[in-house]
Amino acid sequence: MLFREPFPVKKTCLWTLVFILGLIVLFAIFIAVISINIGLSNMNQDGFFIPVLAGFFLIGICLFLYIYFIRFIINQLKEKDIIRS
């Protein structure tokens, strides 16, 4: 009889979470780029730099949090279970 490895549910779920987080981060960065574009296209108005700064701030926060969560998930993938089934 052939021994088959069990389906890696934990690994599959964590990689799915990485993919979903990536889509959310890409959407937030898309909104930030639109904000920067609007700010730069209205340079003749007072306060044009506010959407530009908000866009750069949003990009920075999103990338920082995404990298933090990716590192956490990779550490969870490396972690071995105490009880082997």
Structure tokens at 8: 């890696």
Taking the C-alpha atoms of residue 4 and residue 70, their distance in angstroms, rounded to an integer, is 29
Residue 40 corresponds to which amino acid? Answer: L
Confidence of residue 71 (pLDDT cuts 50, 70, 90): very high
| Mean pLDDT for the chain overall | 88
Q: What is the pLDDT of residue 82?
A: 58
In the predicted model, what is the mean pLDDT of residues 28-34?
97
- Helix axes 49-78 and 9-41, enclosed angle (nearest 10): 170
State yes or no: pLDDT of 40 exceeds 60.
yes
Q: Residue 80 pLDDT > 70, yes or no?
A: no
Q: How far apart are the first and last CA of the chain?
A: 18
The full set of domain ranges for the chain reads 25-78
